[in-house]
Structure 1
Amino acid sequence: MTKHQNRTLGAFEKTFWLLDQIDSKDFALAAEVEGRESADEWRKAVNLVQKRHPNLTARIGIDEFKRPYIEHVDSLVIPLKVIEIDDDFKWEEVVEKELATRFNTQEGPLFRVIVLQKPKETVLILAANHTLADGSSLMYLFRDLLEAVTGKIPRELAPQKSNDETLGLSEDNPMRDHENSAYEFKKLDAVYPKVESIKFSSRQTSQILERARLEQTTVHGAICAAVVIAGRKLRKEWNDKKIELISPICSRKALQLDDNCGLNITTHPVYFEPEEKLSFWDIARFAKSGLNGTETKEHIENYLGFFRSLTFNSADIQKMVDILKEAFNHQIMVTNLVKVKYNTDFGKLKLKSIYGPMVRSGKGMEQTIGAVSTNGHLCLTNTSDTPITGLLAEMQTLLAEACI
């Protein structure tokens, strides 16, 4: 099995790489774990998991045609920090610092691991650059790390193809553009997003799931309804605005992909008009219906086709960056990993909850709601440079009232 992929980026990978030249496209997930392990054992586990996933040992190079490509470098070591903390320490503060610390994609690697050691528990934080990973990637990395640190040797995976190649689409064509080939990579200003989190009881989580089914919608639809209503209530300038809400859609099932670490998502907007005075569950159903057909191979191919037209077949990086500067003006993103799909009991360590994804999804003014359920508990996060105070608490109240 070759580990040396050294391929050009697919269209959406290249889009995230270009967006990273404008603004940070780093993100993180956090996991609460019952139990502890030594720093040496975590180092060994990180090294084993790095061998499993080729994208964990890669950087982004630029070839002679100004095309970004994945370069496998055996000497790259994933940074690991192990920090002793007390029970009252807020892990969200560490995530904020990690999101403010940009990855250098030209040097790599594009991942970091932070282990916060409480007296009897552990918080694992995984940070990554979006070019080569998505939220599901990091969710599976938690499993792989917990298996490795408790004695299981992970099986190595083959390098993941781009979604373009999986669909049989051609790679980015080499183009000579002597007039516009110069591009200066600038050191961008740091960003300082704030992160908040909330954990629902198992009873309330179950109530939301059951009521959403009864109302012929989904938990995702209910979360969308809650954030739109709460956002309009707490941010008055949204009252007379059309709200654009973006949802990332996982492409792994449609493309029959494994648990490899890679970028395997599309995104899709749903628009909420200000004059529409709908009930909570009407809004939830509207949010669900707006995503119909997005989990199909055809949708993925059309989606990639759009970004291929924007980012392929040109050596003019500056032109592509300028086009993308005008994109992603949404007010809300709801990035929902749905639920943990693996056993959470790893013997001496037990996965309790996962939070995230925590990411700046637009230009800093947006509210990015991360959602994932673990062991029957829904956890929500909000990440924003300009957070709406009390947004998650208001969403929880709205969801509780809607389930009465």
Structure 2
Amino acid sequence: MTVRRHLSPYERAVWAAGEALPATVAGAVHVEGATTPGRLRDAVAAVRARHPLLGSRVERGGPWRAWFTTEGVPETPLRVEYPVAGRTVARVLEEELQRPFATADGPLARFVVVDGGDSFDLIAVFHHLVADGHSAAVVFRDILRHLAAPGAGGPAVAAPPADGLLPGPRVRPADLAKLSRSLRLPRQAGPPALPPGHAAPLTCRTWTLDRAETTALLDRCRAERTTVHAALCAAFARARRAPGPARIAVAADLRRILAPVPEESVGLYAASFLLPVATGRPHDDLWEGARELRERLHRRLRPEELRPLVAGFRLLPLPDGMITRLLHRSENKGARFDVSLSNFLTSIPDTYGDLRLTAFHGAAHTSLSGAPLVILIGFGGRLFFSVTSTDPDAAGLCERAMTHLNAAVTPARPAGARL
């Protein structure tokens, strides 16, 4: 499928932001079973043909217009590595997240395989303009399907912009006000972002809850009438060491409100909003806070609240250069949020012929401020976490948050209690 279409107002804003800020998202899967670099290259080419935005570039047509085009875009890169002691998938992710995409040249996706012989790790890296977490799952599924049965892939899938799939009228004057409120909270005192060349190194850390731990967490959340996402927000707010409410950036999957739902499309169908969360006192019940957060998240995820996060950009007809400069200036003043939490459940299969998908982590680098970006993926009865940040305390923040969460799931027995 040949593509040439205008970037929507929302896509143009994300593209312009990516000219000044990091705009890279990635996924990493571990697969039991053998393949070859040649077979993987064929699979990547087939998936690019099925999802053409992966093989696109951005053509600028002046300060207010830009297009996706697949014309003149080179082959999608696939780099092959082999296991080396001490070089983990997290290290590969750190390197790839810091490599910007040349959007004018394309393509806007690339891949790395770490070939272990009887198993392999596959890393997919995307410009956020053409993929989100759900998109990454679709790409991995389609690659593994092609490896299991070459030539069995389906027809090309269009990726219409989210702007055109929103419910309700095209433009509402109130959308701009709601967009501004959703993206802005008062900044708190803190260090500004460090200039290039002086920033701390970007680090990525991954961890996993096994099936028993995942089941215990899900069961407790159901018993407490809340959700994992709300419980995580409460735990991370409690884990902060700074005074005042935590500013949590919550990622939202727009597919919940779009019609028709772009279930098979690979593109940008995600947005985020800021949520202030009280830290609570050490002896406060985490579940009480999580129940209150569940209600607040439920309200913020309603169509009338999510819609302005995309539609509002139609009322911001700024030239792309101005968008780039404004966002760069804002980021250099410091982080807009203390931690970003993305959470999604994927139901893609785990078995593809002789190949078995056993792990799925996500990662992202979308801010100069260095604030931690935490991604949680539910897959195969387990929860896969990652955190990416230049904050030296990011790993400590996650450890404290998980300690709070684990203590709430399995509270200590009273003294003298029988086992």
TM-score (norm 1): 0.86
Report if aligned partners of 1:59, 1:106 keep a CA contact under 8 Å in 2.
Answer: yes
Cα distance between partner residues in 2 of 1:391 and 1:65: 41
Residue 53 of structure 1 and its aligned partner are, at CA, apart by: 0.2
Q: 2:250 aligns to what?
A: 247
Q: Distance in 1 between matches of 2:18 and 2:62?
A: 21
- What is the Cα deviation at residue 290 of structure 1? 2.3
- Name which of 338, 344, 362 aligns with 2:350: 344
Note the alpha carbon deviations across 1:202-252, whole angstroms, 9 max, x for none: 11100111111111111111222222222x2xxx3x1x1332101111112
Deviation at 1:270, TM superposition (A): 1.2
1:85 & 1:117 partners in 2: Cα distance?
7
Per the alignment, do residues 53 and 257 of structure 1 end up closer, same or farther by CA in structure 2, a change over 3 Å counting?
same
Give the equivalent residue in structure 1 for 2:106: 108
- Cα RMSD for the two superposed structures: 2.3
1:6-25 maps to which residues of 2 (within 5 A)?
6-25=4-23
1:273 is aligned to 2:278 = yes
Aligned length: 374
Say yes or no: does 1:225 pair with 2:231. Answer: no
Distance in 1 between residues matched to 2:280 and 2:404, nearest whole Å: 20
Are positions 1:329 and 2:327 aligned together?
Answer: no
CA offsets per residue over residues 33-62 of structure 1, 9 Å max, x none? 111201111111111111100111210111
Tell me: CA distance 1:157–1:252, structure 2 relative to 1, closer, same or farther (3 Å). farther
Q: Are 1:33 and 1:122, in contact at CA under 8 Å, matched by a contact in 2? A: yes
Q: Structure 2: give runs of 5+ residues left out of the alignment.
A: 172-194, 411-419
TM-score scaled by structure 2? Answer: 0.83
My pick for the range that moved more, 108-117 or 84-93, is 84-93
Instruction: Decide which of 36, 39, 43 is 2:37's aligned counterpart.
Output: 39
Residue 219 of structure 2: aligned partner: 210
Give the C-alpha shift of residue 276 in structure 1: 6.5
- 8 A Cα contact 1:367 1:387, kept in partner: no
**How much does 1:296 deviate?**
4.1
Segments of structure 1 that go 5 or more residues without pairing to the other structure are: 171-187
Tell me how far 1:8 sits from its aligned partner: 1.7
Contact 2:170-2:311 at 8 Å conserved across structures: no
Q: Does 1:163 align with 2:162?
A: yes
What is the deviation of 1:72? 1.9
Would you say 1:402 and 2:419 are equivalent positions? no
After the TM superposition, which residues 2-401 of structure 1 pair with which residues of structure 2 at under 5 Å, given as runs? Answer: 3-64=1-62, 66-73=64-71, 75-86=73-84, 89-152=87-150, 153-167=152-166, 169=170, 192-230=201-239, 232=240, 236=241, 238=242, 240-255=243-258, 256-273=261-278, 278-310=284-316, 312=317, 314=318, 316-325=319-328, 326=330, 329-337=336-344, 339-356=345-362, 358-388=363-393, 389-401=395-407
Amino acid in structure 1 at the alignment position of 2:227: T
For 1:120 and 1:364, locate their aligned partners in 2 and report how far apart those are by CA, in whole Å.
Answer: 40
Residue of structure 1 in register with 2:417 after alignment: none
